[in-house]
Amino acid sequence: MLAGVAFAQTENASLEAQRAAFKQAYAAASRGGDGWREQARGLTNYPLYPYLQAASLEHDLQQVDRPTVETYLRQFPDLIPASDLKRDFLQELARRQDWTDFVAMYQPGLGDALSCNALQAQLAGGAKLDFNRDLAALWAEPALPSACDPVLQAAFEQGLLTPARVWSRIDMAVEAGKAATISASSKWLPPEEAGTAQNLAQALNDPAAALLAAKQWPDNTRSRQAVTLALARLARRQSGTADDAWQQLQGRFHFTPAQRDRVLNALAVFHAADFDSNALARLIELPPSAQTPTSREWRVRMALAAKNWQAVLDGIAAMGPTQQQDDEWQYFRARALGELGRAEEAQRVYASVAGQSSYFGYLAADHQSASYALCNTQPAADPLTRQAVLAIPGIRRAFELFAIGNPKQARREWNLALANADAPTVRQAVILANERGWYDRAVFAFNNGDALGYYALRFPLASQDGLVPQAQQAGIDPSWAYGILRVESAWMSDAQSGADARGLMQLLPSTAATVARRNGLPWNGGDSLYDPATNIELGTRYLAQMAGRFNGSLWLASAAYNAGAARVDQWVTARSMLPPDLFVATIPFKETREYVARVMYYSVIYDWRLHGKAAPISTRMLPIGQPYSRLDPPEEHKSLTCPAPTVATATSSAAVPATAATPTAAPARAKLR
């Protein structure tokens, strides 16, 4: 036994030495040349060795020749660095306009830019384009890279871009909201039609200006299309202004019934989102042909905002059968029945919703003083499959990339290695990843079917990242902080949003810098937010700041974390008397409504993961103005039980049941340390 332990320790030390040597060699390779080779001695059997030469070649791409690249491709076929190098070298050959080497190396399926480069090579050789063979697939894309511009211009000069084809592309771009594509395509239309196309682009880019100009437009098919589009777009931004424009233009243009319905729907829905006083009446009065699931949903939300409980029931009854059965609408149906004194009916509906593990399921359970539904399972051990997974070269590369701090490339290797894997293989791969601290693999893999019951894997407790002590130091509930983190990044430490929010708790660098300064914490720039410990330290302080602004209210602070505190202030000013469940249901932004619901639900799950019990969700959602404070662990708590016989399905060979009231949280935390 002691000899085995010593061998394992030696093997781990050797692997750590290889990782350190690889990182040094990779830094050298990324500077180009062959200097990396000296530092890479002893790494030829290391799983990531092929990445070294690829990094060097990528740096020197403008000087590299085709034989050098092809030698690497032959040596490491089917590897991700090889496919990246081939794609990048083809782009370099196109830049050089070395069409001979480009054609020799090119193969279809490498993306639109290279497809267009291949057509440029064809044109350079004197060949003509054939629309169906060469352009039809590209033409169906609503937007194309700049590499396609010379190809499309050549197609126009060859007479292939007929007005009918151009208009079909413009119509597709309209549906996709691609104004730039419309503007670029208009130059291929006859002069008398180009202006009409630009009207459509303006309707997308500046609907208010388009509607002012529309007073001078002729009443034809394309003008009516542009006006309809502009009205629908402007309604989203300025419902009142759009309403005025509709009153002025509806008599000037002969809109089709479908166009009229689209405008009426947009005006009604966005007046509701703006909480105009007559919005509920407008939604009720919408013609049946103008109603959509969204308009029917907003009809109920407006009734909830008015606490018009009969209108709530009527609005839910007006929904389609599938929409009615959503747990949100069943919950509010029970809520309305209870408010109308129909307690027995309400309790029956609450009972059906309370059987679900969800935000609305737990709200319903609180109305019944019932336990929370949670069927916790864990995957069964499978040593043979586990060893088979560890033998997959791509998985070994993925684990090494994650270990050296390159999760983006690790995910690429993972996805390629498991692209055609069966469920048992994926399951064991996820377990192995979790053991290595790679928690987001479970979040993304176990998101449907029986795997939803793998709560310990789907809601990990990463004690090494310091969330619990950091949350406690910040004076906030660790379960809530975990819930925010889980919703924000799904445990991807390198997550980055389009707005440049970064890391586990998705902080903007500017926000993080302010938080660090306010709390006397070190700040080492935006990239430091990809370090989990730094991100969590700053993220918990920012959460505490949001909670303090809203009197400790977790649900309002959650909304502010997503939509901004200023917007939440506006909503509170307008609807502060609404109970929390109604307030959340009437938040204008779908993303924020769902965000708050997920955070509050996940907070319950994490409370259970941390303590084996959970504070009722209602104790986390106190009325506006009522201070919130709680002990950790909570004094009042709910039991979590598996109420359904369907647990038998989840306890097949794929899963072993675990008692919900005594979860695997404690041993899991010990392992994660």
Domain-embedded: residue 79: yes
CA 527/CA 531 separation, integer angstroms: 8
As separate numbers, helices (DSSP H) first and strands (DSSP E) second, the chain gives 39, 4
CA 379/CA 423 separation, integer angstroms: 11
CA 575/CA 568 separation, integer angstroms: 10
Task: Output the 3-class SS for 357-384.
Answer: CCHHHHHHHHHHCCCEECCCEEECCCHH
Q: So what's the pLDDT on residue 627?
A: 81
Domain-embedded: residue 357: no
Domain-embedded: residue 667: yes
pLDDT digits (tens, 9 = 90+) for 238-249: 999 999 999 999
The answer on 522 and 670 residing in a single domain is no
The answer on 426 and 502 residing in a single domain is no
Structural tokens at position 626: 């009522």
CATH of the domain at 510: 1.10.530.10
CA 426/CA 417 separation, integer angstroms: 10
The answer on 493 and 629 residing in a single domain is yes
The answer on 485 and 548 residing in a single domain is yes
* DSSP line for 470-493: HHHHHTS-HHHHHHHHHHHHTT-T
Domain-embedded: residue 413: yes
The answer on 656 and 594 residing in a single domain is no
The answer on 545 and 477 residing in a single domain is yes
The answer on 447 and 487 residing in a single domain is no
Q: Is the pLDDT of residue 4 over 60?
A: no
The answer on 481 and 386 residing in a single domain is no
pLDDT digits (tens, 9 = 90+) for 175-203: 999 999 999 999 999 998 999 999 999 99
Domain-embedded: residue 584: yes
Q: So what's the pLDDT on residue 628?
A: 77
Q: What is the mean pLDDT of residues 585-605?
A: 97
CA 322/CA 301 separation, integer angstroms: 18
The answer on 487 and 450 residing in a single domain is no
Domain-embedded: residue 527: yes
CA 240/CA 233 separation, integer angstroms: 12
The set of residues, in sequence order, having a beta carbon less than 8 Å from that of 214 and lying 6+ positions away, is: 199, 223, 226, 227, 230, 249, 252, 253
pLDDT digits (tens, 9 = 90+) for 416-468: 999 999 999 999 999 999 999 999 999 999 999 999 999 999 999 987 789 99
Residue 137 dihedral angles phi and psi, to the nearest 5°: -65, -40
Of 46, 601, 651, the closest CA to residue 380 belongs to 651
pLDDT digits (tens, 9 = 90+) for 283-331: 999 999 999 999 999 999 999 999 999 999 999 999 999 999 999 999 9
Of 384, 617, 580, the closest CA to residue 483 belongs to 617
Q: Vertex 519, ends 509 and 542: CA angle to 5°?
A: 55
The answer on 551 and 479 residing in a single domain is yes
pLDDT digits (tens, 9 = 90+) for 639-659: 889 985 543 333 333 333 333
Count structural domains, the chain. 4
How many angstroms separate the most distant Cα atoms in the chain?
90
Find out whether 81 and 401 touch, Cβ atoms under 8 Å. Answer: no
The answer on 145 and 92 residing in a single domain is no
The answer on 471 and 438 residing in a single domain is no
Q: What is the mean pLDDT of residues 382-392?
A: 96
By residue range, what is the domain housing residue 123? 117-157
Q: So what's the pLDDT on residue 653?
A: 34
488 noted as active-site residue: yes
Catalytic one of 328, 413, 488, 537: 488
Domain-embedded: residue 188: no
Q: What are the beta bridge partners of residue 614?
A: 638
Domain-embedded: residue 42: yes
